[in-house]
């Protein structure tokens, strides 16, 4: 039987409770589809700091290195931030570090609004068209997140100067553009590239390089939008988008906006992929939402983003397309039967039943 090694890093806040449900669903899928998962859990984020005084403990990094892929929960508890220096906080010391360490330059965030969740979308029905189905392809290891210098200087007299640097090179833009064009080919063959070419040097280079790469994909319709306009178009007419290609920070912002259109951030999975080597792609899979400390430990969190992240792992890292589709199908059926966590519940919806994290996870595992 095929066996895969997975590092499961649940992290903070709602991480552990949604991770538990995702693992349950993955195990049910393995039994059904005939593969085995060796899952090793390891602490990260504040859980790592409490365990080994490091957001990314050495043992956790070691386990990740020995694994075929990483299933990640979420990290960060803003209330505790003031207790340690900013470079040691989980977002930078664990999440960004892992992205860089494993060269995870391509972040895929698929957003779709299932018909039955039309009520959870903040837009009027006539703007939802036949449904929203967008793939945000976000560059994940460049731009303002990582550019140097990155520091805060003391100017004296109580004044500080904060510096972040936005850097992109031609090869960095080319490789993420190829990912986006290939994804568009498998979808509706439309690619919208987002930049700020009217103001930023980075935007000019981005647009030039994407246009040049696009010549190799003449079957894909390419358009360029400025990021501010793209944010507006997402609200005005989200159905015009198929694949949206963004640099790191624009993708961070627009993917949350797109997620809201898909009903809830609790429904948005993501895959972060490195280069493909001998047919294998090391990947990092995480829900795009955060730790949601306000609802943590209360059995209120929606586990679907974490569960769907598991489905993306099966597809992108292990090539288990059927097993992946089995999870996506189970999620869809359970939603169709009316089960709703609080974030997607609407009392006015006929047949809707409000459930907790555990009940939602168990129902999806049973539906595999
Ligand atoms: C995301 C998150 C992270 C990011 C944070 C937690 C550092 O918002 O994955 O979208 O900005 O990339
Ligand atoms: Mg974000």
Q: Whose atoms come closest to the Cα of 107: which ligand?
A: 1
Q: Nearest residue CA, atom 7 of ligand 1?
A: 91
Nearest to 319 by CA among 68, 40, 8, 133: 68
Rg of the chain (C-alpha set): 20
The DSSP secondary-structure symbol of 39 reads: E
In order of 16, 20, 109, 142, 266, the CA distances from 90 in angstroms are: 16, 21, 22, 19, 21
Q: Nearest residue CA, atom 10 of ligand 1?
A: 252
Burial 95-105, CB ≥16 within 10 A → b, else e = bbebbeebebb
**Each residue's pLDDT tens digit, 212-240:** 999 999 999 999 999 999 999 999 999 99
**Each residue's pLDDT tens digit, 72-96:** 999 999 999 999 999 999 999 999 9
**Mean pLDDT (the chain, rounded):** 96
- Residue-level pLDDT at 276: 84
CA distance 43 to 361: 22
The one catalytic residue in 217, 252, 285, 343 is 252
Residues with CB under 5 A from ligand 2 (ion): 252
Q: Is 359 helix (H, G, I), strand (E, B) or coil?
A: helix
- Rounded to 10 deg, the angle between the 248-261 and 227-236 helix axes is 10
Q: Nearest residue CA, atom 5 of ligand 1?
A: 91
* Residue 145 a catalytic site member: yes
**Each residue's pLDDT tens digit, 254-313:** 999 999 998 888 999 999 999 888 878 899 999 988 899 999 999 999 999 999 999 999
Given a cut of 80, is residue 97 above it in pLDDT?
yes
Given a cut of 90, is residue 130 above it in pLDDT?
no
**Each residue's pLDDT tens digit, 100-113:** 999 999 999 999 99
- Residue-level pLDDT at 85: 96
């Amino acid at each position: 039987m095929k066996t895969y090694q997975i590092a499961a890093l649940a992290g903070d806040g709602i991480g552990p409770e949604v991770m538990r449900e995702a693992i349950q669903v993955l195990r049910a899928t393995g039994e059904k589809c005939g593969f085995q998962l060796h899952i090793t859990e390891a602490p990260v984020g504040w859980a790592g700091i409490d365990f080994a005084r490091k957001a990314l403990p050495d043992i956790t990094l070691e386990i990740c290195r020995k694994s075929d892929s990483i299933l990640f929960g979420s990290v960060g508890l803003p209330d505790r931030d003031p207790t340690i220096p900013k470079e040691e906080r989980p977002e930078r010391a664990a999440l960004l570090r892992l992205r860089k360490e494993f060269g995870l330059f391509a972040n895929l965030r698929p957003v779709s609004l299932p018909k039955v969740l039309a009520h959870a979308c903040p837009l009027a029905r006539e703007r939802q068209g036949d449904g929203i189905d967008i793939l945000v392809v976000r560059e994940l290891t460049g731009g303002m997140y990582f550019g140097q210098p990155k520091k805060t200087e003391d100017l004296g007299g109580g004044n500080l100067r904060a510096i972040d640097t936005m850097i992109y090179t031609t090869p960095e833009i080319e490789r993420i553009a190829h990912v986006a064009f290939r994804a568009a080919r498998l979808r509706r063959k439309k690619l919208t590239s987002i930049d700020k070419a009217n103001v930023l040097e980075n935007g000019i280079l981005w647009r030039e390089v994407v246009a040049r790469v696009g010549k190799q994909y003449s079957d894909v319709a390419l358009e360029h939008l400025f990021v501010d306009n793209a944010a507006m178009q997402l609200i005005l007419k989200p159905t015009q988008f198929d694949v949206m290609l963004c640099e790191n920070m624009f993708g961070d912002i627009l993917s949350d906006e797109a997620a809201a259109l898909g009903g809830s951030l609790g429904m948005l999975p993501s895959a972060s992929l490195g280069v493909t080597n001998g047919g294998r792609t090391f990947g990092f899979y995480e829900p795009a939402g955060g730790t949601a400390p306000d609802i943590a430990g209360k059995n209120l969190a929606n586990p679907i983003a974490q569960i769907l992240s598991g489905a993306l792992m099966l597809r992108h890292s292990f090539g288990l397309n059927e097993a992946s589709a089995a999870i996506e199908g189970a999620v869809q059926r359970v939603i169709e039967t009316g089960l709703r966590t609080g974030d997607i519940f609407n009392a006015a919806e006929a047949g809707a039943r409000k459930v907790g994290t555990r009940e939602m996870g168990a129902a999806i595992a049973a539906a595999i």
